[in-house]
């Protein structure tokens, strides 16, 4: 599953995403070894903003800290916005990579319910 978050780092807000799995009772961070990565979280540079929409509604990440630093109640609240199931079912979503001032978006990634990915690069004024 994919979960999107916003975190404050050095007095600026940054967006990112993380991979989660369900252990039968709750969502947990995916093991980076499975992802062939150093971390299960990706934090975008402060100059970029990740905007994600599901069913036409823009998601506003609720969590104000990264999963690796969250504990207790904050850690228990995780519910991913995008599901990627072993049955090859996907939550259809659109992700836009925008400037942090939100004046332009350079790329759109659209994933449909069958997992097909379409990437459109653009430079549109907002």
The band of 60, judged by pLDDT with boundaries at 50, 70 and 90, is: low
3-state SS class at 61: coil
pTM of the full structure: 0.70
Task: Check residues 103 and 4 and name the one with the higher pLDDT.
Answer: 4
Q: Tell me the pLDDT tens digit for each residue of 23-57.
A: 787 777 788 887 777 777 888 888 888 888 888 88
Contact 102, 109 (CB under 8 A): no
Q: Would the pLDDT of 59 be above 80?
A: no
Of 42, 44, 60, residue with least CA distance to 100 = 44
pLDDT at site 108: 87
């Amino acid at each position: 599953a994919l979960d999107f978050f916003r975190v404050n780092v050095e007095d600026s807000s940054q967006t990112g995403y993380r991979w989660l799995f369900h252990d039968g009772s709750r969502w947990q961070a995916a093991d980076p070894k499975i992802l062939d990565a150093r971390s299960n979280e990706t934090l975008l540079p402060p100059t970029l903003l990740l905007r994600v929409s599901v069913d036409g509604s823009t998601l506003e990440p609720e969590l104000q800290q990264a999963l690796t630093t969250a504990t207790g109640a904050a850690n228990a609240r995780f519910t991913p916005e995008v599901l990627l199931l072993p049955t090859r079912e996907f939550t259809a979503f659109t992700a836009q990579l925008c400037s942090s001032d939100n004046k332009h978006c350079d790329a759109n990634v659209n994933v449909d319910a069958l997992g097909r990915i379409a990437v459109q690069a653009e430079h549109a004024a907002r």
